[in-house]
């Protein structure tokens, strides 16, 4: 995981010295990879065909098209517990898929089908038994039945991709590279394989190769939201914020429920281009949808608030961060910014 990077731009309207906000691109990338990990190896995963005990819950995911009817095309449903822990995978039959989970709490269903934008839906399980989750997919073209499907990935190559993504989620770069090489030898042109290889290059900080492979993945599959998001993150890592905006916006267009990490990166890209209103809106959305996984996003919110002249709101955001996260390394930066706002007469002293 990459270390937090220092910014070269000071907090607007606040003379606080060499202030910085964390990009944490490696952290964002980790969560992006986690959404693609093959869940069949998770300990709490189950299926409707297996026996489950008192705490087990049968989850039926019903996938609808825009008209409300169950989709006729096959869809892949992946479940994640607490946002990132794989909890099961199944393919739909006549528009529905059933899985069994052996834990209660918050879950996320990620649904993908050829010709449709992928969808992510959060839900909670409070009691054992049965629950139903309804998901609605948006066709990528006016004629969903005629939309071209994604290239088929052979079983051996798919296994290598799944194991590579799982290794990345565990920060096992050596195993991820091994599986990526295996997948490349089996299906070198498949977008999922290219995506895996691109993320491995990112983890190795080989930006040129990462950009080349991820750009190819988006060309082969113009609907690969995760590849567009990773491409945008790679461009941000190189400081190419204006160029990064397009792929990141495309990723969110393809999957409006894409994880908060892509929104965080896009908010940063907006901020670096002095598009402060957009940076504020996107960073607030990223902070809210992260559900506490990346509280440091609040520093970017504070910067954006200051940039649009809302100094008191910026100060309040910094105070809330210090109140809730005084033990984090970013707390020193938050204190410095808050002191700078007061010293420059931008806020009322208390």
The enclosing domain of 185 has a CATH number of 1.25.40.10
pLDDT of residue 252: 93
Average pLDDT over residues 325-334: 95
State the pLDDT confidence band at 25, using cuts at 50, 70 and 90.
low
Per-residue pLDDT tens digits for 249-284: 999 999 888 878 899 999 999 999 999 999 999 999
Query: How do beta strands 129-136 and 138-139 pair?
Result: unpaired
Query: Taking the CB of residue 127, how many other CB atoms lie within 10 A of it?
Result: 9
Sheet architecture: strand order including 129-136: 96-101, 57-64, 129-136
pLDDT over 60 (residue 142): no
State the pLDDT confidence band at 107, using cuts at 50, 70 and 90.
confident
Pick from 65-74, 142-151, 223-232: least confident:
142-151
pLDDT over 90 (residue 52): no
Alpha-carbon Rg for the chain in angstroms: 21
Residue 206 lies inside a defined structural domain of this protein:
yes
pLDDT of residue 332: 96
Q: How many CA atoms lie within 13 A of 233 on its CB side?
A: 33
Average pLDDT over residues 98-122: 85
Residues 232 and 310 in one domain: no
Average pLDDT over residues 41-61: 55
Residues 211 and 194 in one domain: yes
Q: Which of 131, 196, 135, 207 is nearest to 160 (CA)?
A: 196
Residues 46 and 111 in one domain: yes
d(CA 85, CA 39): 8
pLDDT of residue 45: 44
Please give the residue range of the domain that contains residue 337.
260-343
As given in the structure block, the two tokens for residue 72 are 């006729």
Bridge partners for 77 per DSSP: 90, 111
Residue found by looking up tokens 């794989």 in the block: 86
- CB contact at 8 A, 245 and 270: yes
Residue 15 lies inside a defined structural domain of this protein:
no
162 alpha-carbon distance from chain centroid = 17
State the pLDDT confidence band at 31, using cuts at 50, 70 and 90.
low
Identify the domain boundary among 118, 146, 174: 146
Phi/psi for 325 (5° steps) reads -140, 45
Q: Which of 98, 96, 88 is nearest to 64 (CA)?
A: 96
pLDDT of residue 116: 80
- CB contact at 8 A, 255 and 224: no
pLDDT of residue 32: 61
Identify the domain boundary among 201, 235, 254: 254
Residue 8 lies inside a defined structural domain of this protein:
no
Residues 233 and 271 in one domain: no
Q: Is 96 helix (H, G, I), strand (E, B) or coil?
A: strand
Q: Is 1 helix (H, G, I), strand (E, B) or coil?
A: coil
Residues 155 and 131 in one domain: no
Residues 138 and 211 in one domain: no
Identify the domain boundary among 146, 176, 194: 146
Q: Which of 229, 231, 150 is nearest to 198 (CA)?
A: 231
CATH number of the domain that residue 53 is part of: 2.60.40.10
Residue 275 lies inside a defined structural domain of this protein:
yes
Average pLDDT over residues 88-107: 88
Average pLDDT over residues 153-180: 91
Residues 139 and 157 in one domain: no
Average pLDDT over residues 187-207: 92
pLDDT of residue 340: 95
Residues 112 and 180 in one domain: no
As given in the structure block, the two tokens for residue 96 are 């529905």
State the pLDDT confidence band at 134, using cuts at 50, 70 and 90.
confident
pLDDT over 70 (residue 110): yes
Residue 137 lies inside a defined structural domain of this protein:
yes
Q: Which of 131, 132, 111, 107 is nearest to 120 (CA)?
A: 111
Q: How many CA atoms lie within 13 A of 289 on its CB side?
A: 20
- CB contact at 8 A, 198 and 185: no
Counted domains in the chain? 3
pLDDT of residue 57: 85
pLDDT of residue 82: 76
Higher pLDDT, 188 or 139: 188
DSSP 245-312: HHHHHHHHHH-TT--HHHHHHHHHHHHHTT-HHHHHHHHHHHHHHTTTS-TTHHHHHHHHHHHTT-HH
């Amino acid at each position: 995981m990459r270390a937090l990077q220092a910014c070269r731009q000071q907090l607007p309207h606040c003379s606080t010295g060499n202030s910085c906000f964390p990009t944490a691109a490696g952290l964002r990338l980790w969560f992006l990879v986690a959404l693609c990990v093959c869940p069949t190896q998770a300990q709490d995963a189950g299926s409707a065909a297996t026996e489950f005990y008192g705490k087990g819950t049968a989850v039926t995911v019903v996938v609808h098209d825009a008209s409300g009817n169950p989709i006729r095309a096959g869809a892949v449903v992946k479940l994640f517990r607490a946002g990132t822990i794989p909890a099961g995978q199944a393919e739909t039959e006549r528009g529905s898929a059933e899985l069994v989970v052996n834990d209660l709490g918050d879950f996320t269903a990620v649904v993908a089908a050829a010709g449709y934008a992928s969808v992510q839906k959060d839900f909670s399980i409070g009691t054992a038994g049965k629950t139903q989750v309804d998901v609605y997919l948006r066709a990528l073209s006016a004629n969903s039945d005629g939309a071209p499907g994604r290239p088929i990935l052979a079983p051996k190559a798919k296994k290598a991709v799944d194991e590579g993504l799982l290794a990345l989620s565990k920060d096992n770069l050596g195993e991820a590279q091994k599986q990526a090489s295996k997948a490349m030898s089996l299906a070198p042109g498949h977008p999922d394989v290219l995506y895996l290889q691109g993320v491995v290059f990112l983890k190795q900080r080989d930006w040129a190769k990462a950009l080349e492979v991820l750009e190819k993945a988006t060309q082969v599959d113009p609907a690969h939201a995760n590849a567009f998001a990773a491409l945008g993150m790679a461009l941000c890592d190189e400081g190419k914020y204006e160029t990064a905006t397009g792929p990141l916006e495309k990723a969110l267009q393809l999957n409006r429920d894409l994880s908060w990490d892509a929104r965080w990166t896009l908010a940063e890209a907006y901020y670096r281009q002095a598009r402060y209103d957009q940076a504020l809106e996107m960073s607030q959305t990223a902070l809210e949808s992260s559900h506490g996984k990346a509280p440091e996003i609040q520093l970017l919110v504070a910067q954006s608030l200051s940039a649009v002249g809302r100094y008191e709101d910026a100060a309040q955001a910094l105070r809330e961060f210090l109140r809730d996260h005084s033990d984090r390394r970013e707390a020193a930066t938050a204190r410095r910014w808050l002191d700078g706002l007061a010293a420059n007469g931008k806020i009322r002293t208390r």
